[in-house]
Structure 1
């Protein structure tokens, strides 16, 4: 064990921060919560899409696709104006009003998994319509599954899937976002220390020049249509680079609109109020200052204290990088219908990801859409696969140039409409 990590783990404050365990009682309570949907009352950094915040979010992910960034260009496309990168709708939310949470649900949630580390390990997306400037996004969510696993990295862990239904101001379902979350005991991960031998990446001028060559060769399909007829099984989706990861990348992602409310980084009086509200989320650093537990994304000492060699990215950053890769390949007229991704390795500061993909199959869906199924992977400089993903993309055909979004399942559409109707009844904005 590194001396820096040993000193941290032996301090009273750090020990207090990692002295929480996953209990059978918490697991039982979590399982009783499955199937309960609630209006999401969080007010994210972005509540209504605008041309500016769509562009800023894209830029925060390193994406300069003119469909998201250039209104003059976008007006000439099938969309008639800017649309948001589809995964951006996860970061847009205005509070949805709903009926009070039943007392029995409140009791189950009270201090549930208190002090337990949570990280996103993947997601699944189903898309039903674009987000345009002027769209306000609301959501309701609930946990769908809860599974207990033994983890090589962190001992006992709990795997949960939460479904977020994203709805616009017209009561239309925009997307369904299923988030795979892994809950682990901080002290177990710290003691395991499995990854502490990983050394920070460094690059010679020649090695960095090769990364720059990949960036220089990247192309956006854009207005050049990629027709279904011209795509074949086994075709490459091209090569992109992401990284090397820096703290600046994490800052840009937050500045672009990733708020992660109610755990968003805050300052001064807002930080004071947050410390009073969610005290276990704040852990003293080596200067005796309570700071957010999520600083493991930029603070190497805290990252080491919970079993990692250095700070690492948010999984959702790579999910948005994935969408950029798909969007660049498919062109303006195509539509991503479905994405499934698995975050398989940490992406540490200094790591560079090489993104590659291929076409797995061509087919026609039950509703007559011509689609391709693709596989994508991110590989870091150590040769490890850090992301594994599949996606289904509807492409234009030469006789039907505009693919369409699928219909929202009837039961889900009705529930979304009912949730929004209740929101308006309660005086929602």
Structure 2
């Protein structure tokens, strides 16, 4: 994913400022309320359904308002990765300048991996909030673009009861821009093309995919080495990217917008808008759907979001595990680009079984492999399954320190909202 750009001349070079790197390191362990809203702020049957559909998931637990009533959840629940679509802004005290994250303007930013832990479902009517911070900052040399900075950020999402829903650690690679440098690494990559027979073979995979659903998968019945089956995703199209955004991926504060809203956004973050071939200022984010722009910075075509592949990986897991299970954690890597036209097949297997605190867990390894035979997104996951002897799955406990911080942030938000209302009343 690319987040920060700068209008430039072809020969310009954009490098890190040492003071920005130092400030990033100083902020490790400092957490702030997330004060910008995402595409949506409160879960509803329509939002849960549309978000699931945005990455091709038709699991009725996520998409059917009536279906969930007969499950252990008592109603429809949101897909695991809903955190990228639903969040209400928190009111908070101003962040001191020295505690603000550096912008790294002119620097490309790519998601290289995530680790997510889930603690409880998101239900109809839940309002979600969040806080975030930095956990690690590493400086390295990148094969793609020279000097690079690897930053591990933490996002914690919680509901209106200050219950932590999930934590997500996102690894981003910040790379310097050397526009005058010819990058031959990607010259040999040809855009994918398909014959009707090729499409038919992909369709055969789609036709055989099944949602486990109400057919409970018990821990005792799972064997180490067992395959999780095969799932297809692709060929990736511009339409896929549009549907992903329209289904809820807001990508705040860079949410795609149009007309007057785009004008206002351009006044706020002008460096993010780079003139296209027609001279029109357009978002640097278009690298995910504008292959011409992607080629201008040395890539063969536009490519997807890392978060889209996380959605695909979680989709593969939830199809396999069934309604009564719980996806406890998933750790993924984004090793290769997934270009427009590429097709992925997802495969995986059980690599371990264990009990922990009375809970019955299975560990799995999974991966997405492109039509080039490249594993672009390997991952591991832990799933809690019901037991024929031990009974239903018990949800894991969320970190107490995070729930305490969430409660304090909600309290401060309520105080500031009361002050705002009182001020508005006095003014009138």
TM-score normalised to the size of structure 1?
0.93
Count of paired positions = 414
Distance 1:380 1:30 in 2: 35
Cα pair 1:59 1:256 within 8 Å, conserved: yes
* CA displacement 1:119-173 (0-9 Å, x = unmatched): 2111010111000110010000011111111111111111101100101011110
5+ long unaligned stretches in structure 2: 1-5, 422-428
Distance 1:240 1:250 in 2: 19
Q: Secondary structure at the match of 1:67?
A: helix
Q: Does 1:371 align with 2:356?
A: no
In structure 1, the partner of 2:55 is 61
In structure 1, the partner of 2:389 is 399
Q: Secondary structure at the match of 1:391?
A: strand
In structure 2, the partner of 1:313 is 304
Structure 1 residues 291 and 19, CA gap change in structure 2 (3 angstroms): farther
Cα pair 1:148 1:156 within 8 Å, conserved: yes
Q: Does 1:426 align with 2:416?
A: yes
* CA displacement 1:310-329 (0-9 Å, x = unmatched): 00101100100111100000
Match of 2:399 among 409, 415, 419: 409
Distance 1:322 1:190 in 2: 35
Distance 2:184 2:14 in 1: 17
In structure 2, the partner of 1:7 is none
In structure 1, the partner of 2:89 is 95
* CA displacement 1:325-366 (0-9 Å, x = unmatched): 00000000000111100011100011000100000100011x
> Structure 1 stretch 43-52 or stretch 27-36: which is displaced more?
27-36
RMSD: 1.7
Structure 1 residues 117 and 137, CA gap change in structure 2 (3 angstroms): same
Q: Secondary structure at the match of 1:239?
A: strand
In structure 2, the partner of 1:130 is 121
* CA displacement 1:273-323 (0-9 Å, x = unmatched): 111111110101110001000101111111112221000101100100111
Cα pair 2:13 2:179 within 8 Å, conserved: no
Cα pair 1:161 1:180 within 8 Å, conserved: yes
5+ long unaligned stretches in structure 1: 1-11
Match of 1:251 among 235, 242, 255: 242
Cα pair 1:18 1:115 within 8 Å, conserved: no
In structure 1, the partner of 2:185 is 194
Distance 1:292 1:104 in 2: 28
Q: Does 1:359 align with 2:350?
A: yes
In structure 2, the partner of 1:83 is 77
